[in-house]
Amino acid sequence: MRTFVYLPFVACVIGVASARLVARRTDPRVSARVLAGSGIALAGATSAALSLLAFTVIARVPLVAAQGRWSASAVTRKVPVPMWVGVAAIVCIVAIGVHALRTFDTYRRGLGHAVRLQLENGGEIVTVPETASFAYACRVLPFRPGVIVVSEGLHNTLDADQRAAVLAHEQSHLAHQHGLYELVALITGALNPLLRPMQRAVGFALERWADEDAAASLGRNTAASALAASALQRPHAVPQSALAHGASSVPARVEALLDNPRPRNPALIVSAAVNATLAIVAVLLAAHSTELIFEALRRSVH
Amino acid sequence: MIYYNCHRMQAMARTQGDDEPGRRAFGELEQQVLSVLWAADTPLIPREVQEKLTDPPAYTTVMTILDRLQRKGVATRRRRGRAFAYEAVVSESAVAAQHARALLANGHDRRAVLQGFVEVLSDDDSHELARLLRKAQQGRAIERGKG
């Protein structure tokens, strides 16, 4: 337990450090799956590790010790986790819990609109009267056809082939259930805020995936020009939002469409998967050794 | 590449395996046809729609879908020569637009919020994008020249 319980956090740092690289240097169809999968695995492993650390403090509460039939002072002597680490873990869990509730409250508020939109307009293209050029796809109910939302501005900014590329992009999101990957990434970020960059990397990979599908049907130059033209038209029309984040990913996506057709870096993919697997294995070992320690404490009382 | 091919093969197996395409596949196809109509500058006859589809289905399937879209009220048609030409109806549904806007405001669709719609470009990004856009447009012009 002494080391294994901390390994998921190391894996988490490694995962975050390499997420951007994985998203940008590998085939997005693969990296979206690997990033979403390893992200949720890392989130699960760190949550479990935090719980184990927190338990080492909770087990010293007399009431809990009585219930578990071990002595609180023996826990202090035998468990190789300093008191302050366990207390810090409890603080983290509370903070994460509060933050996660807020995240899901925002999600739930949008969910009602998304469900109604999909139930009433499934399989359709809905136009919103906005001058900005944008489009998005909505499919929260995986077994019903999704909705594509387009702005009126898209019609004026782009020519027919570029519009077709935008719609092909959105259809790719719907056809490949990208909404579910996003939900997994959202849960990842909520369980462990340190993994937020991973969540963003999943988002980037999903966009690249859809970009590649649009490029396959309309051509790379057309897909790239549609993306760039829409993005360039936006800043003047849309007020800055609190949700807007720093570095834009659009130039990177356009560049990938123009210069970098299909990067393949199997080593990056494999190491991301191995990293997440190791985190899971480490936390399972930590849990096992914790169990052994408390088993021994229980026996020593009798 | 292998991944991609697998996926294509699965998609083909799905459409070829069923004589009567499954509900979901049919819904997807319907939206693809609607997208073709929506993206086009002018009304299209079924043959033109078929040409613009990736993995084009049979002509009769396209006809069926266009007819369904027209009956659902999301497309209109008018006579062009001996065929009907179809056009997407711009949905004026205020309710749908309201839900769509609420989604953006609530940030439910994180993809739109984080990566596209409200993302504000820095000056550097704008210059870089303008350069890339010129490059893409040149590429398109060359493609058109060849085609």
Per-residue pLDDT for B117 more than 50? Answer: no
Residues B98 and B130 in one domain: yes
First to last CA, chain B: 26
DSSP code string of A224-241? HHHHHHHHHHHHHHS---
Burial (CB count <10 Å: 0-12, 13-18, 19+), residue B23: exposed
Instruction: Give per-residue pLDDT as tens, A199-225.
Output: 989 999 999 999 999 999 899 999 999
Q: Domain check: are B22 and B63 in the same one?
A: yes
pLDDT band at B144; cut points 50, 70, 90: confident
pLDDT for A17 equals 95
Q: Is A222 on the interface with B (CB under 8 A)?
A: yes
Q: Which two tokens stand for residue B127?
A: 């210059």
Q: Nearest chain B Cα to A209, which residue?
A: B4
CB contact residues (below 8 A), chain A span 91-120, against chain B? 106-107, 109-111, 113-114, 116-117, 120
Q: In the predicted model, what is the mean pLDDT of residues A19-43?
A: 94
- Mean pLDDT across chain B: 76
CA distance B20 to B18: 5
Query: Regarding predicted confidence, which is higher, A114 or B10?
Result: A114
User: Do A132 and A153 contact (CB within 8 A), yes or no?
Assistant: yes
| pLDDT at residue B147 in the model | 63
Q: Chain A within 8 Å of B45 (Cβ-Cβ)?
A: no
Task: State residue A128's pLDDT score.
Answer: 85
- Provide the mean pLDDT of chain A: 89
Q: Which residues from chain B sit within 8 angstroms of residue A228, using beta carbons? A: 129-130, 132-133, 136
Among residues B65, B88, B111, which one ends one of the domains? B88
Residue B94 banded pLDDT, cuts 50, 70, 90: confident
In this structure, is the dihedral angle defined by the CA atoms of residues B37, B40, B45 and B47, taken in order, positive or negative?
negative
Could you please report the per-residue DSSP string of B3-23?
HHHHHHHHHHHHHHH-SS--H
When comparing pLDDT for A168 and B100, which is higher? A168
Lowest mean pLDDT among A133-147, A171-185, A242-256: A242-256
**What is the rounded distance in angstroms from the CA atom of residue A290 to the CA atom of residue A2?**
10
Alpha carbon A243 to its chain centroid, in Å, reads 17
Longest CA span, chain A: 81
Same structural domain, B15 and B68: yes
User: Please, which residues have CB within 8 angstroms of residue A95's CB and are 6 or more apart in sequence?
Assistant: none
The number of C-beta contacts closer than 8 angstroms across A and B is: 230
User: What integer pLDDT is reported at residue A133 of this predicted model?
Assistant: 79
Residue A128, beta-bridge partner list: A151
Give the pair of three-digit tokens for residue A258. Answer: 């123009």
Q: CB under 8 Å to A226, separation ≥6 — which residues?
A: A158, A161, A162, A163, A165, A166, A214
Cβ–Cβ of A113/B128 closer than 8 Å? Answer: no
Report whether pLDDT(A256) > 60.
yes
Residue recorded with tokens 């057709």: A261
pLDDT band for position A241 (50/70/90)? very low
Give mean pLDDT, residues B91-120.
64
CB A39 within 8 Å of CB A195: yes
CB contact under 8 A, B103 and A120: no
Hey, what amino acid is at B70?
Answer: Q
Position B100 scores a pLDDT of: 84
Asked if B22 and B64 sit in the same domain, the reply is yes
Please give, rounded to a whole number of angstroms, the shortest distance from the CA of B65 to a CA of chain A: 12
CATH of residue B7's domain is 1.10.10.10
* Chain B residue whose CA is closest to A106: B106
A40, pLDDT greater than 90: yes
Number of domains in chain B: 2
Tell me, yes or no, whether B49 and B98 share the same domain. no
Pair B98, B125 in one domain: yes
Name the strand (E) or helix (H) holding B79: strand B75-80
Q: Measure CA B138 to chain center.
A: 24
Whether B107 has its CB under 8 Å from any CB of chain A: the answer is yes
Phi and psi based region of residue B73 (left: phi greater than 0; alpha: psi -120 to 50; beta: remaining) = left
- What is the distance in angstroms between the Cα of B82 and the nearest Cα belonging to chain A? 25
A250 contacts in chain B (CB < 8 Å) = 115-116, 119, 121, 125, 129
Cβ of residue B10 closer than 8 Å to a chain A Cβ: no
User: What 3 state SS string does B97-146 have?
Assistant: HHHHHHHHHHCCCHHHHHHHCCCCCCHHHHHHHHHHHHHHHHHHHHHHHH
Least confident of A9-18, A286-295, B27-36, B109-118: B109-118
B82 and B100, same domain (yes or no)? no
A173 to chain B: which residues are within 8 Å by CB? 111
Using the Cβ of A209 and the Cβ atoms of chain B, whether some distance falls under 8 Å is answered with no
Task: Please write the tens of the pLDDT for every residue from A57-103.
Answer: 999 999 999 998 998 889 988 899 999 999 999 999 999 999 999 98
By Cβ distance, the residue of A173, A249, A258 closest to B135 is A258
Q: Do B30 and A123 touch (CB under 8 A)?
A: yes
Task: Give contacts of A232 with chain B, Cβ < 8 Å.
Answer: 121, 126, 129-130, 133
Residue A220: Cβ within 10 Å count: 22
Domain that holds residue B131: 94-146
Whether residue B105 sits in one domain with residue B69? no
Judgement on whether residues B104 and B132 belong to the same structural domain of the protein: yes
Q: Is the dihedral of CA A46, A48, A51, A55 positive or negative?
A: negative
Interface of A with B in 31-50 (CB under 8 A): none
Instruction: List, in order, residues 6 or more apart from A211 with CB less than 8 Å away.
Output: A28, A169, A223, A227, A253, A256, A257
Residues B71 and B118 in one domain: no
Q: Please tell me the predicted confidence (pLDDT) of residue B107.
A: 56
Mean pLDDT of A159-182: 93
Q: Which residues of B touch A261 (CB under 8 A)?
A: none
Q: In this predicted model, what pLDDT tens digit does every residue of A257-295 receive, in sequence order?
A: 998 666 788 999 999 999 999 999 999 999 999 999 999
Same domain? B12 vs B37: yes
**Interchain pair A160, B40: CB under 8 A:** yes
Task: Let me know whether B36 and B80 are in one domain.
Answer: yes
The model's pLDDT over B18-65, given as tens digits with 9 standing for 90+, comes to: 334 444 467 788 889 999 999 998 999 999 999 998 888 999 999 999
Least confident of A6-20, A147-161, A230-244, B76-90: A230-244
> Is the reported ipTM for this assembly greater than 0.90?
no
Say whether pLDDT at A155 is over 50.
yes
How far is the alpha carbon of B81 from chain A, nearest alpha carbon, in Å? 23
Does residue A261 belong to the interface with chain B, where contact is any CB pair within 8 Å?
no
Residue A236 has pLDDT above 50, yes or no: no
